[in-house]
Chains A and B, each alone.
Chain A
Amino acid sequence: MADALTIDFDRSGIIDPVFAHFAIPVPTLDVPPLSGVVRDAAVRIWVDRARSEYVGVMIVRKLHGLLVDLNAPMDLQELALRMLLDEQRHANLCSAVVGALGGDSGVTFDVPELQQPRSAATLESQLIEMLVGTYACGEVVAHTLLRHVVKALPKSGFRLVLQSIAKDEVLHARFGPTLLASIRAGEQASWIDCPGDAVISALYSAQCRWMLGRDVVDARDVRLFEDDEQARAMCSVGVSEPRAFKAAYMAAVERVRRHARSR
């Protein structure tokens, strides 16, 4: 039995003015001349980004479901749906870049990445875990990284795609810390109790510890960037220097962890 699946990121082909009116727009990108090595690497990296964003869709589905089941205030539910559509749009954008670079529309996922099932823990616990791990840690780091990449890249349509994603990440990065603060202050007691600082602290610690263990960048890309010409070509299609990217990632995670521990 398979433990991974390939999902098609294609369009229906339906031409309908109302559909078109509501459809998420897809960018048109001018791709500079690229060597085969650079093109293949760029495709792989943008596929990775599309995958991450689509996993984000699945994660926010879970978040929204928890909020619904806890009868969380409607504005929070609406923000979750907003973030869900953001993630879908981000996946769509990244997939469009893959297409522009000549990649195919299939993106492979581990099945659990798509399922994002609930655990046996209480709904409240699962929500707190998501708020800390995914949002107060993961999305805060993601936001920092996007800013890093946008700043590191030259102007291009590829960078504009990343800028567009970064705009949404402001909300995503704010959602967790803000809601957690409100829960801790007892302002959300009508629907959820604060589990206590010790629990929240442990969740921060665990998530940051795990995040520090990720590779973050591919060793192949590090090698590729050792060649100046290839490095410039990669930057022209929205891929920044991987060692600096990892350094920014590590620093961002450390900041989140330090921040959580210092309060």
Chain B
Amino acid sequence: MSTRFSPILICGAATLFSACESSTTTGGGVSDAQSSDAQSSDAQASDTQASDSGDGSSDGDDGGLQDASAEDVVDGDDVYAAEDALPSDDVPVVAEDVQARTDIEFPSDVDEDSVTDTESPDITETDVPGVDAGGPDVDFADVDPGDVDPGDVDPGDVVPGDFDPGDDVQTTKGPQLGEPCDLSIQTWCGDEAVPTLSCEYIEAEWVWTEYNENGLPCFCHPASSPGPAICAVPGFVGIDQSGRDRQAPSLRALRRAARLV
């Protein structure tokens, strides 16, 4: 059975940052970046903010990107700056006094009532890619992801015990065409991160079908070949799965043990 996290089959935990470097060298400049002094948060100082009702979900129809009105009053105390903003004005300018510090504002040195600039990225209509989705598309507005509890789903559960290497749909072990699936894994990726199957709703049940071009691409988790696609989303977007508690050995402990061998 293919595992959900097959990269580890290729690169062991203790070699995460050594033997696996060939797959992670894309960010080789990290150390250098961390010594950069370009830490000012002033980059956002000139963004224009929409008139916003304050619920975080009423920024217009664009995720807040086209906000354009003068000001935004939040909770009665946070006034979102309403400054002129052109794209060219948003280039971060590193103030002379911020080489060593960011503009982080902490209770000790910040007046909370001061103007903040957690504003809209302020994209104009012409700035945003105008694409026509085209083709069939499932309207997921009607889908309540809460109906599926991924916490109860073992990705391995959808992998059949039998595997026919001659299968012309898949070249690697994985779910079979027509088998039941659930929406917790939407695309199955074959060798070299090629999407092979999509989990689609057909005749009142979720089944693995031939890959839908509008389906989840394998770039989301390219090393998982074969394996399920898992898209990476950085930052503040909530958790993948409810009820998941994570425990694992310490990387330092593993490396320490490896050194002692």
- Hey, which bits of chain A sit against chain B, CB under 8 A? 1-8, 21-25, 27-30, 48-49, 52-53, 55-62, 64-66, 68-69, 75, 78-79, 81-82, 84-85, 87-90, 93, 106, 108-121, 125-126, 129-130, 133-134, 136-152, 155-157, 159-161, 163-174, 177-178, 180-181, 184, 197-198, 200-220, 244-249, 251-252, 254-256, 258-263
Contacts and interface: CB of A to CB of B under 8 A. Distances in A.
Given A6-B251, A60-B27, A210-B231, A129 B219 contact: yes
A232 to B, nearest CB: 15
B237 A206 contact: no
Interface in B177-235: 183-184, 186, 192-194, 213-224, 229-235
Size category of the binding interface on chain B: 35 or more
B24 A115 contact: yes
B241 interface: yes
12 contacts: A1-B8, A2-B13, A55-B232, A56-B234, A112-B230, A120-B222, A141-B237, A151-B54, A167-B103, A215-B239, A249-B238, A260-B131
A167 B129 contact: no
A261 to B, nearest CB: 4
B92 interface: yes
Contacts of A251: 57
Contacts of A140: 63-65, 121
Contacts, number: 455
A218 B64 contact: no
Nearest to B125: A263
Contacts of B57: 144, 148, 247-248, 251-252
Contacts of B120: 143, 170
B36 A4 contact: no
Interface string B57-93: 1011111110000000011011000000001001110
B161 interface: no
Contacts of A209: 138, 140, 186, 214-216
A81 B36 contact: yes
A201 to B, nearest CB: 4
Contacts of A6: 247-251
Contacts of B64: 140, 143-144, 147, 173, 252
Given A115-B24, A150-B118, A170-B117, 13 more contacts: A7-B251, A88-B34, A117-B23, A134-B234, A141-B233, A142-B233, A143-B120, A151-B54, A164-B102, A178-B127, A212-B140, A215-B151, A260-B129
Contact of A200 (B27, B129, B184, B248): B129
Contact of A143 (B29, B41, B87, B121): B121
B219 A133 contact: yes
A139 to B, nearest CB: 6
* Majority secondary structure, B binding face: loop
B166 interface: no
B145 A215 contact: yes
A2 B243 CA distance: 21
B165 interface: no
Contact of A5 (B118, B127, B250): B250
A171 to B, nearest CB: 5
Contacts of A138: 231-235, 237
Interface-centre pick from A6, A108, A248 (highest chain B CB count, 10 A): A6
A109 B17 CA distance: 14
Interface in B116-130: 116-123, 126-130
Contacts of B101: 25
A81 B140 contact: no
A72 B62 CA distance: 27
Contacts of A217: 238-239, 242
Nearest to B182: A213
B100 A21 contact: yes
Given A84-B27, A167-B103, A178-B127, A218 B239 contact: yes
Contacts of B214: 202, 205-206, 209
B38 interface: yes
A23 B52 CA distance: 36
A201 B236 CA distance: 24
B163 interface: no
